[in-house]
Amino acid sequence: MLNVSPIPAFQDNYIWLITNNNHAVVVDPGAAAPVEQVLAERGLTLEAILITHHHHDHTGGVKALLDQWPNARVYAPAAERLPAPGSIALSDGDNVSLPELGLELEVMSVPGHTLGHIAYYAPPQDQAPQGQPLLFCGDTLFSGGCGRLFEGTPGQMYQSLSRLAALSDDTRVYCTHEYTQANLAFCHAVEPNNPELKKYLQNVAKLRQQGVPTLPSPIGLEKAVNVFLRAHLAGVRAATQAHEGVELIENIDVFAALRRWKDDF
């Protein structure tokens, strides 16, 4: 059976470790040392590295890991600089086969945070945790939030998030930062009367007090609490218009205003 677990790195990054028996794949290893420690402790063989985008806190450990595991395959977005010679360049609609884990992934183009950002989606399968679909989405969708627009436009990010929101509600979101509590504080400022959000805020506070990760979260929950997936709703529009002091006609305008609001929150 597949197991997915976080390897903490830096202040708030998670490097996702996917294992099946003694085979391992890691997602966005910004640092090598914590990965090498877990691989050694658990007697795992690194088979592949999955990269969602080019930022150093997602790629910085690739070279050192390849020094130790030269046969590991590296998969990365074709539209960005590849993290290592021989990396397998991926574009929207490509498939990644990880036979050592019995896992097949679909590649989704999700620009916004960076122009070439991709996500990896695993459809429902018996070996997956609880049989649910899995989404490794880097810095595009966070629990309660979304990535900053370092390279892309609000329109690109809005389209990317809409694409992820269209996945089934039980899809488990494995993003790469523990930003949930701060993100929900912003969501609460936008939607202070959202009952699902209030409940999630309480649950997240308990988890963080215990030092437990808040991730993964299901897409269905994100659609209920994450204001960046709720720009089409009248209440979110009204709150954002009140903050901006102008009328916002299109959903994309609401989203763009929400992102600006969050940047200064």
pLDDT in tens, 205-218: 999 999 999 999 99
Residue 126: the pLDDT is 58
Q: 103-114: b or e for each residue (b if 16 or more CB lie within 10 Å)?
A: bebbbbbbbbbb
pLDDT, position 118: 98
- The answer to whether residue 127 scores a pLDDT higher than 70 is no
pLDDT computed for residue 1 by the predictor: 82
- Three-state SS for 162? helix
pLDDT of residue 61 exceeding 80, the answer is yes
- Would you say 168 and 206 are in contact if contact means Cβ atoms under 8 Å apart? no
Q: Which two tokens stand for residue 169?
A: 């509600």
Strand partners, 13: 9, 177
Q: What is the pLDDT of residue 128?
A: 59
Q: What is the pLDDT of residue 124?
A: 80
Residue pair 47/73 in contact (Cβ under 8 Å)? The answer is yes
Spatial CB neighbours of 136, under 8 Å, sequence gap ≥ 6: 16, 27, 28, 50, 52, 105, 119, 120, 121, 174
pLDDT of residue 132: 86
Can you list the pairs that 117-125 forms with residues at least 24 positions away whose Cβ atoms lie under 8 Å?
Answer: 117/52, 117/53, 117/77, 117/80, 117/147, 117/152, 117/160, 118/52, 118/53, 118/77, 118/90, 118/91, 118/92, 119/52, 119/164, 120/27, 120/50, 120/52, 120/96, 121/167, 121/171, 124/168
pLDDT of residue 130: 63
- For the stretch 17-47, pLDDT in tens is 999 999 999 999 999 999 999 999 999 999 9
What is the pLDDT confidence band of residue 70, given thresholds at 50, 70 and 90?
very high
pLDDT at 159 over 80: yes
- CATH code at 3-263: 3.60.15.10
Q: What does the pLDDT read at residue 113? A: 97
DSSP 202-257: HHHHHHHHTT-----EEHHHHHHH-GGG-TTSHHHHHHHHHHHTS---SHHHHHHH
C-alpha dihedral over 44, 49, 55, 56, to 10 degrees?
Answer: 40
> Does 181 have pLDDT greater than 90?
yes
Angle (CA) 39-41-42 rounded to 5° is: 65
What percent of the chain has a predicted confidence (pLDDT) above 70?
98
CA distance 140 to 138: 6
**Mean pLDDT, rounded, for 51-63:** 97
16 neighbors 48 (Cβ within 8 angstroms):
no
* pLDDT number for residue 243: 96
pLDDT exceeds cutoff 90 at 144: yes
pLDDT at 129: 61
The catalytic residue positions are 53, 55, 57-58, 113, 139, 177
Going by the annotation, the residues of the binding site for Zn(2+) are: 53, 55, 57-58, 113, 139, 177
Average pLDDT value for residue range 85-99: 96
pLDDT exceeds 70 at position 152: yes
Task: Round to whole Å and give the CA distance between 176 and 12.
Answer: 8
Taking the CA atoms of the chain, what radius of gyration do you get in angstroms? 18
Q: For the chain, what are the domain ranges?
A: 3-263
Question: Residue 194: its pLDDT value, please?
Answer: 98
> What is residue 106's predicted lDDT score, i.e. its pLDDT?
97
pTM of whole model > 0.75? yes
Q: In the predicted model, what is the mean pLDDT of residues 153-168?
A: 97
Tell me 167's DSSP state: S
